Chains A and B, each alone.
Chain A
């Protein structure tokens, strides 16, 4: 079971990073072994069970869904696994649903009070929920029978998600890239695999670079769009005289404009994912991420269209397609030894798995 039939050549040469032993490094690619048809059957059966149990089964469905995706994610011939317990997740969901219903009724009866409550909850509650759900997600993940863990505290979440947000706001966005980085840093720096803590290596410079490039590209696209409109279609376009603009040419320009904007969005998305995942160091293992703007945005856009045109039926294939692309453009720049990690505090997984009260599993992306 050791050899990996999907093994392929290392993608591209790793970016320059301080590697301890560059001579004996090896690239271990991530791979995804699931497929859309198989996931469709799992998805639709679980959706039906969820509906006929009035949503109660959704907790079991979630566990099966995550186990499908974690269990099909391989690196170095071994897969990840998800250990979330449906009952714990159900408990969390019931609390969220009850809170939602109470809030809905409150907002009907006391709109102003409910509005204030929503702001307070967003400011003080969201960081707490992020912290708890991060903890739950990491603790419920294993690889080679060792659990991941998360050590982030409430204060850290408050600073990263709210504090830096307001700093970015007050500086008119100048600190926006720092805020982006702080959020990712909170999630990753506080994580561990076994007793080995993660380090987040991506620096502010990287964040500033892709944020500024995104901004400049966006400005260039807008300026180019206006320039083409005014020179080719003359003053009419400036006055937005729709009648005289309704020609074939205008549609070509509009289409080019939208494609260019999507390209900019793709660049931003690919860059921020690369900056986040590509900055992870775990001991002497370095995660690399090589997502590219056009393929990524191509997948997003075509998935969206396919889902809408199939009334949602394409969803499972879309999900698999996106996950596969992302994973297959990630690798571990490794010293070749993924077997040297040890469990935290030297005990088996049960000690960690038995934590109670960790039932918040709200999904959020980093």
Chain B
């Protein structure tokens, strides 16, 4: 089999018109050069085919035979049984059916990665890391919150001690490496809410304590926040964000132009994670209540009243990918007697400007969404 091309010896840029023969003797000959060139098939290197670019056949001394006749080189490779992964990639790259199939697969696989792959990897990584890591992430969070959001608690010391006592009996048996601590603050514009910091500090606003009708309701909220700390939601969120970012970096290193278009993906993931974490914390709270003989309805009634106090009830059941918390109607059974309006509102279509969550970082995991200031 003879292929036409040019031979470059690698010492100068001069090339000569030459012919290359894949001999039946298993040797490769180049004719047309000043001295005849010959090498065993096993000692030459054939560059991988990409599109229809110039093919390079490299000889042991560093000389290169260049040809445009890719098909002839491929036929020769095939007849000598030289097959490799590169030939497969070129086969894939040269078919439109494969290209269309790849396009569909890229879309599906990307969705699956964000939906399942990254969370699973982050959970695995979080399991490997000690509880100290959570403490490091949360260190200083309370100071920042005190500066920007909270005011000192106005709750009587006696009441605080009472609730701390219940908190200690709740957290003592857990023994999971986390150092739990309960703090009270005046919420101000935040209103009635509770926050779990990754370091194990749980902040409850005076407004929430006042809103609760029974101590069991407060306990149910504490159980939910403990669920956030135990579930290590801040760390897992951080790991997922890092995973998505480095994935995007690896994927789009080549495709800088569309990386901008896709940069919304982590934001979507953020909200979705956050809702999943809320569900986990809810489940933990309800299980804990059951195991400790407290009615699960305490959690429901507290959540419904909280939702109400934040001007809730207008929340719609439609699947909202940007929401950081699941709809309250999904999280709790609000009794009709207590919330007649809320139940009726559920049937209404989504308002044009569905409430968007205030930008509270997930590390502070509020109990319910804090609506944006009007």
Interfacial residues, chain A to chain B (CB-CB below 8 A): 1-2, 33-34, 38-42, 44-52, 54-55, 58, 61-62, 64-65, 67-68, 70-72, 78-79, 81, 93, 96-97, 100-101, 104-105, 108-109, 143-146, 194, 304, 307-308, 311-313, 315, 318, 338-343, 346-350
Q: Which residues of chain A come closer than 8 Å to B251, judged between CB atoms?
A: 47, 50-51, 55, 58
A339 near B14: Cβ-Cβ < 8 Å: yes
Residue of B nearest to A108 (CB): B238
A93 vs B252: C-alpha distance in the bound complex, in angstroms? 12
A48 near B106: Cβ-Cβ < 8 Å: yes
Q: Which residues of chain A come closer than 8 Å to B6, judged between CB atoms?
A: 1-2, 78
Is the CB of B79 closer than 8 A to any CB of chain A? no
B106 near A47: Cβ-Cβ < 8 Å: yes
Shortest C-beta distance, B85 to chain A (Å), equals 9
B15 near A144: Cβ-Cβ < 8 Å: yes
13 other A-B residue contacts (CB within 8 Å) besides A51-B109, A109-B136: A1-B6, A38-B52, A42-B50, A48-B109, A62-B254, A71-B53, A79-B66, A81-B47, A81-B53, A97-B250, A101-B242, A146-B13, A348-B62
Q: Which residues of chain A come closer than 8 Å to B250, judged between CB atoms?
A: 50, 54-55, 58, 93, 97
Q: Are A71 and B102 CB-contacts (below 8 A) given A145-B10, A343-B12?
A: no
Shortest C-beta distance, A73 to chain B (Å), equals 9
Q: For the complex of A and B, list the 6 residue pairs with the smallest distance between their C-beta atoms, beginning with the closest.
A: A348-B62, A71-B53, A55-B250, A145-B8, A312-B258, A339-B14
Shortest C-beta distance, A344 to chain B (Å), equals 11
A105 near B238: Cβ-Cβ < 8 Å: yes
Q: Which residues of chain A come closer than 8 Å to B249, judged between CB atoms?
A: 96-97, 100
Q: Which residues of chain B come closer than 8 Å to A304, judged between CB atoms?
A: 257
Stretch at the interface among B87-95, B207-215, B307-315, B316-324: B87-95
Shortest C-beta distance, B191 to chain A (Å), equals 28
Is the CB of B82 closer than 8 A to any CB of chain A? no
Residue of B nearest to A77 (CB): B6
A342 vs B14: C-alpha distance in the bound complex, in angstroms? 9
A341 near B102: Cβ-Cβ < 8 Å: no
- Which of A41, A49, A349 is the one whose CB lies under 8 Å from B94? A41
- Which of A52, A143, A315 is the one whose CB lies under 8 Å from B13? A143
Q: Are A45 and B92 CB-contacts (below 8 A) given A101-B246, A104-B242?
A: yes
Q: Which residues of chain B come closer than 8 Å to A68, judged between CB atoms?
A: 50-51, 53
B13 near A44: Cβ-Cβ < 8 Å: no
Most buried by A among B50, B63, B64: B50
Q: Which residues of chain B come closer than 8 Å to A34, judged between CB atoms?
A: 51
A42 near B51: Cβ-Cβ < 8 Å: yes
A64 vs B90: C-alpha distance in the bound complex, in angstroms? 10
Residue of B nearest to A308 (CB): B261
Is the CB of B283 closer than 8 A to any CB of chain A? no
Is the CB of B255 closer than 8 A to any CB of chain A? yes
A44 vs B139: C-alpha distance in the bound complex, in angstroms? 45
Is the CB of B172 closer than 8 A to any CB of chain A? no
Q: Which residues of chain B come closer than 8 Å to A42, judged between CB atoms?
A: 50-51, 93
Q: Which residues of chain A come closer than 8 Å to B247, judged between CB atoms?
A: 54-55
B50 near A194: Cβ-Cβ < 8 Å: no
A318 vs B106: C-alpha distance in the bound complex, in angstroms? 20
B257 near A307: Cβ-Cβ < 8 Å: yes
* Binary A-proximity of B1-12 (CB < 8 A = 1, otherwise 0): 000111011111
A52 vs B247: C-alpha distance in the bound complex, in angstroms? 11
B51 near A45: Cβ-Cβ < 8 Å: no
A144 vs B62: C-alpha distance in the bound complex, in angstroms? 12
Number of contacting residues on B, CB 8 A? Answer: 61
Shortest C-beta distance, B362 to chain A (Å), equals 12
B10 near A108: Cβ-Cβ < 8 Å: no
CB within 8 Å of A: which B17-67 residues: 17, 47-48, 50-54, 56, 61-64, 66-67
Is the CB of B96 closer than 8 A to any CB of chain A? yes
Q: Which residues of chain A come closer than 8 Å to B14, judged between CB atoms?
A: 144, 339-340
Shortest C-beta distance, A156 to chain B (Å), equals 27
Residue of B nearest to A319 (CB): B257
Residue of A nearest to B65 (CB): A145
Q: List 10 A-B contacts (CB under 8 A).
A: A1-B67, A38-B51, A58-B253, A62-B254, A81-B54, A101-B242, A145-B13, A312-B262, A348-B11, A350-B62
Is the CB of B115 closer than 8 A to any CB of chain A? no
A71 near B64: Cβ-Cβ < 8 Å: no
Is the CB of B68 closer than 8 A to any CB of chain A? yes
A62 vs B113: C-alpha distance in the bound complex, in angstroms? 22
Q: Which residues of chain B come closer than 8 Å to A308, judged between CB atoms?
A: 261
Shortest C-beta distance, A183 to chain B (Å), equals 20
A175 vs B275: C-alpha distance in the bound complex, in angstroms? 53
Is the CB of B356 closer than 8 A to any CB of chain A? no
B10 near A47: Cβ-Cβ < 8 Å: no
Is the CB of B245 closer than 8 A to any CB of chain A? yes
A313 vs B102: C-alpha distance in the bound complex, in angstroms? 12
A144 near B8: Cβ-Cβ < 8 Å: yes
Q: Which residues of chain A come closer than 8 Å to B52, judged between CB atoms?
A: 33, 38
Q: Are A51 and B11 CB-contacts (below 8 A) given A1-B6, A97-B246, A97-B250?
A: no
A347 vs B53: C-alpha distance in the bound complex, in angstroms? 26
Q: Are A194 and B258 CB-contacts (below 8 A) given A44-B106, A108-B238?
A: no
B258 near A1: Cβ-Cβ < 8 Å: no
Residue of A nearest to B103 (CB): A44
Q: Which residues of chain B come closer than 8 Å to A67, judged between CB atoms?
A: 48, 50, 53
A45 near B102: Cβ-Cβ < 8 Å: yes
Residue of B nearest to A98 (CB): B246
Q: Which residues of chain A come closer than 8 Å to B53, judged between CB atoms?
A: 67-68, 70-72, 79, 81
Q: Which residues of chain A come closer than 8 Å to B56, judged between CB atoms?
A: 81
CB within 8 Å of A: which B230-276 residues: 238, 241-242, 245-247, 249-251, 253-255, 257-258, 261-262
Q: Which residues of chain A come closer than 8 Å to B89, judged between CB atoms?
A: 45, 49, 64
A348 near B254: Cβ-Cβ < 8 Å: no
- Which of B13, B105, B245, B262 is the one whose CB lies under 8 Å from A144? B13
Q: Are A100 and B246 CB-contacts (below 8 A) given A341-B12, A346-B11, A350-B62?
A: yes
Shortest C-beta distance, A36 to chain B (Å), equals 11
- Which of B4, B5, B98, B137 is the one whose CB lies under 8 Å from A41? B98
B246 near A315: Cβ-Cβ < 8 Å: no
- Which of B61, B105, B137, B255 is the one whose CB lies under 8 Å from A312? B255
Q: Are A78 and B245 CB-contacts (below 8 A) given A48-B109, A307-B257?
A: no
Q: Which residues of chain B come closer than 8 Å to A347, judged between CB atoms?
A: 62
Shortest C-beta distance, A11 to chain B (Å), equals 24
Q: Are A71 and B253 CB-contacts (below 8 A) given A51-B106, A100-B246, A341-B12?
A: no
B254 near A71: Cβ-Cβ < 8 Å: no
